Structure 1
């Protein structure tokens, strides 16, 4: 029997979006909420410095107003090269509050890469810490277009000012009560994050206000952030906007603890003194804590939740961290997804497993975040999902709110990444019977060192420019500190003498950032397939067996 209906059916097309019922999503509003609700509470700690949420809002408004006074207009790129200090947190809000697009730069980049990024982004302003003066000076000398430099001067740090004014002078020029209109379109860019150039030159990933808002809330949910949460910054805020955690912690009204350098003694002291509840650690940070000297080790007064990203932490590291009082959750993400997209959501049944087995379950990349509506591991050509057999390889693909808008000035790469209506991550994985994903390989042989991606192709191309080298193949080699480091296998020209490794490193340092340098050189022949392609799977096995 058909159900009787009265009146007209509800049709959303008949309803209007008006000011009363619609506003563009943006994480910038989290700052107002934190300042309105917890204005007198400490929002940021840096050494002896304590700043309330009300003061942080005033400083962010000053920054936005000061940038507009310099001539920064909506859509302009403001690049930022800073460590994890309060100014870096303020830039996550103040730059987009000015209507500009935040371009946070990795402080491990060499001058040539800085020039390439600043030029490609057409940045109008560079806010930089004076400790980076040598590499910034070299980049500025080679940069074609004009750029206004603002120096962050830390009295406790050595460095040279290169710009026209200091960061504090810029804030002094701003208005702490300046109006901050929300973006009219949530699709508009909030940040421009550059990849590590694993498939060629770095690509500029355009992140928008909507994706940043949703991913920040997803991160807050994933970590269980609350108003009494205290987060220690060991993850660089320059890395994909700190995986949206600057906004997530603010959304919870928690406390940011800034740390210029992630040194083990300093980390443990802050964990205890500031009663830290959360931190994010790439494998090098976790290894640093596990293997820290006894004299700096401190007993934790409370459990600390650790979100581990980058390369997967080993089972042994997870076990050791748990024994020290840390609770580790492994997450997987990409710059193109605004940060975290998957995490190894703990199950109650895991608690009864032996420690090694529980650590193995936790080390997997896991399941999609609550704000990622669709994720699959599938054949990259047919888009057919792989079976949950823990054996069949497929590519991790994402679809939904937090996927990037696209690559700056690169429609071809954007179209390729979005082929078939999915974002193709380039990472190969399997799916276990319980639906949890485990990463197995990387399509482009990416080396993940200290949470940073290194293109093996880039290192190979540089090596092959050496006068003694005929062929080069670079693969990842496990490392107890960095997770992975490059290992170079070299074939020399027939009449060439073997170069001294130390001399070869000196030559490479002129062309590569220090973290991209191979830690081992192996001379000989390269195994190849019948079609002449290098067998990198075999080389990886050889690299693991090196003394």
Structure 2
């Protein structure tokens, strides 16, 4: 329109860096970070992040360079979310459960110039660098993060720098390098299913800014919330909440390890108002021993996601006084992409019915433009009949830029103008979506599609079951049949036949597991069950064909 002029007066590239700069003024002397006996204010956090950015530039970091981090939820990990982009660099947070071989693959793929490493993980990082040294000479610099509130042992064989010493000698008046384009990368996240062919998901300043604001809104975060860190900051940048909490001038309660006792202790001590966690964390909370529990000082809002939460788990969390907000998304959607928004008409329903409704994945949040369930071939929307399955797809400003160094994979993921999630779901008459399975997890038995999520939800209602996962077991007659991997609660004991009969009383017989294995469930650091490991175990059991034909 004539008369409009786009210039620095009315257009500034969006970046979550601005959240910290504002909070350092508005909430200057309020506590920003708590970690044991350590306390920082928002003014101090900004100063520390500027010192960090200054140090990175002095070490030769240029705009667009990748800086890696291998650390749990400690203050330094929080500061890296601001200090690295303030230097114009890209933060690559690495899964703390990966071994040296895998870390070396990711360092090579990302071309990280520096890696910040927690002292407890120095052997992993050093091992990765040793592997890299066999094929290249330009190795990343290593910065060790020592413990803040207590002396840390000298655990490294050799190290280039130490985090606090690095900050101490740098400038607090560092001029922040702002993105020239809000589509510039701010972080690089490797998907949880990382293999020797890693997928590095690129986040932009714009996407991180918008998704941070969306998470604030649907988590109902007013100013100065107290957020307990249970979600790993390395996972989708902590669902964008390192930036989001800064926007609201909140307090970040950091903890190195996540336990049920630690969660209740921190909530009680710091008057926590918000937290997050995968369904496995929620399951840990509801099954905590009585002597580990403490009364909640007030309502604690919990965002859950990462895997579909069983309705029984949601119901029991509500009984304890937690308010659960169910979100769903992918690494490719900056973590949260949907929200199951509560509807007033649900208030009159039973608690069990409410929990089942809340277990749905809902609709896109305010930062995501579109969400749909489509036929993956024709791209036609499935009817809202709660029965017809299709692939869940996203479109909007909080979808990744793409996969690092993999244009083909990016084009495949964006095929048809939508981000293809790889998740199967249905659409309800009210428009809300509900996941049924991953495309790779769906069990096809005798021509029938079996949703592992549905079977798992039933298993979680059994009083003896602590954790459960369903995968397909090969079967020469039926193709495959459901195989249940179950971990029992300590005080309970039961048998496979009883579990099978319980499922058959709540499900069609073809959906009930034919095999039950009692064992611990392998998980990723973000709490997701590693179903590929369970599929390998089920495959190794061989076929059930002779028994299946006679009993089904």
With the shorter chain as reference, the TM-score category is: 0.7 to 0.9
Shift of 1:517: 5.0
SS of the residue corresponding to residue 421 of structure 1 reads: coil
Gaps of 5+ in 2: 443-451, 457-468, 475-479, 490-516, 522-527
* Residue of structure 2 in register with 1:110 after alignment: 99
Shift of 1:399: 0.8
The reply to whether residue 525 of structure 1 matches residue 521 of structure 2 is no
Does the CA contact (< 8 Å) of 1:395 and 1:427 recur in 2?
yes
Structure 1-normalised TM-score? 0.81
Per-residue CA distance 1:116-154 (angstroms, 9 max, x = gap):
111100111000001012322321211144110000011
Shift of 1:43: 0.9
SS of the residue corresponding to residue 419 of structure 1 reads: coil
Shift of 1:396: 0.9
Q: Name which of 134, 137, 142 aligns with 1:149.
A: 142
Paired with 2:33 and 2:360, the residues of 1 have a C-alpha distance of 33
**Range with greater deviation from structure 2 (85-94 or 15-24):** 15-24
* Residue of structure 2 in register with 1:280 after alignment: 276
Paired with 1:526 and 1:191, the residues of 2 have a C-alpha distance of 45
Shift of 1:160: 1.4
RMSD between superposed Cα atoms in Å: 3.0
The reply to whether residue 123 of structure 1 matches residue 112 of structure 2 is yes
Shift of 1:182: 1.7
Q: Name which of 239, 242, 259 aligns with 1:263.
A: 259
* Residue of structure 2 in register with 1:206 after alignment: 202
Shift of 1:479: 5.2
Q: 1:156 to 1:247 in 2, by over 3 A?
A: same
* Residue of structure 1 in register with 2:461 after alignment: none
Q: Name which of 386, 390, 407 aligns with 2:386.
A: 390
Paired with 1:158 and 1:314, the residues of 2 have a C-alpha distance of 42
Q: Name which of 350, 354, 357 aligns with 1:358.
A: 354
* Residue of structure 2 in register with 1:160 after alignment: 155
* Residue of structure 1 in register with 2:248 after alignment: 252
Q: 1:222 to 1:229 in 2, by over 3 A?
A: same
SS of the residue corresponding to residue 383 of structure 2 reads: coil
Per-residue CA distance 1:360-417 (angstroms, 9 max, x = gap):
0001111110111111110111111101111111111111101111100000000000
SS of the residue corresponding to residue 123 of structure 1 reads: coil
Shift of 1:525: 3.0
Q: 1:479 to 1:31 in 2, by over 3 A?
A: farther
Paired with 1:279 and 1:231, the residues of 2 have a C-alpha distance of 5
SS of the residue corresponding to residue 189 of structure 2 reads: strand
The reply to whether residue 32 of structure 1 matches residue 25 of structure 2 is no
Paired with 1:67 and 1:41, the residues of 2 have a C-alpha distance of 27
Paired with 2:310 and 2:373, the residues of 1 have a C-alpha distance of 22
Per-residue CA distance 1:172-196 (angstroms, 9 max, x = gap):
2321121113211001000010112
Paired with 2:313 and 2:215, the residues of 1 have a C-alpha distance of 23
Structure 2-normalised TM-score? 0.80
* Residue of structure 2 in register with 1:321 after alignment: 317
Does the CA contact (< 8 Å) of 2:384 and 2:426 recur in 1?
yes
Does the CA contact (< 8 Å) of 2:122 and 2:144 recur in 1?
no
SS of the residue corresponding to residue 392 of structure 2 reads: strand
Q: Name which of 169, 172, 182 aligns with 1:173.
A: 169
* Residue of structure 2 in register with 1:490 after alignment: none
The reply to whether residue 405 of structure 1 matches residue 401 of structure 2 is yes
* Residue of structure 2 in register with 1:16 after alignment: 5
Shift of 1:18: 0.5
Q: 1:239 to 1:479 in 2, by over 3 A?
A: farther
Q: Name which of 230, 235, 238 aligns with 2:231.
A: 235
Q: Name which of 407, 432, 439 aligns with 2:435.
A: 439
Paired with 1:275 and 1:171, the residues of 2 have a C-alpha distance of 31
* Residue of structure 1 in register with 2:30 after alignment: 41
Shift of 1:473: 12
Paired with 1:358 and 1:423, the residues of 2 have a C-alpha distance of 30
Shift of 1:524: 4.3
Q: Name which of 341, 346, 352 aligns with 1:345.
A: 341
* Residue of structure 1 in register with 2:500 after alignment: none
* Residue of structure 1 in register with 2:65 after alignment: 76
The reply to whether residue 336 of structure 1 matches residue 328 of structure 2 is no
Paired with 1:521 and 1:150, the residues of 2 have a C-alpha distance of 40
The reply to whether residue 289 of structure 1 matches residue 285 of structure 2 is yes
* Residue of structure 1 in register with 2:492 after alignment: none
Paired with 1:87 and 1:474, the residues of 2 have a C-alpha distance of 44
* Residue of structure 1 in register with 2:127 after alignment: 138
Q: 1:520 to 1:324 in 2, by over 3 A?
A: farther
Paired with 2:41 and 2:332, the residues of 1 have a C-alpha distance of 33
Paired with 2:13 and 2:200, the residues of 1 have a C-alpha distance of 24
Does the CA contact (< 8 Å) of 1:366 and 1:437 recur in 2?
yes
Does the CA contact (< 8 Å) of 1:196 and 1:202 recur in 2?
no
Does the CA contact (< 8 Å) of 2:102 and 2:196 recur in 1?
no
Does the CA contact (< 8 Å) of 1:192 and 1:205 recur in 2?
yes
* Residue of structure 1 in register with 2:366 after alignment: 370
Paired with 1:199 and 1:296, the residues of 2 have a C-alpha distance of 38
Per-residue CA distance 1:312-368 (angstroms, 9 max, x = gap):
221111111111110111100111111111011111122221111000000111111
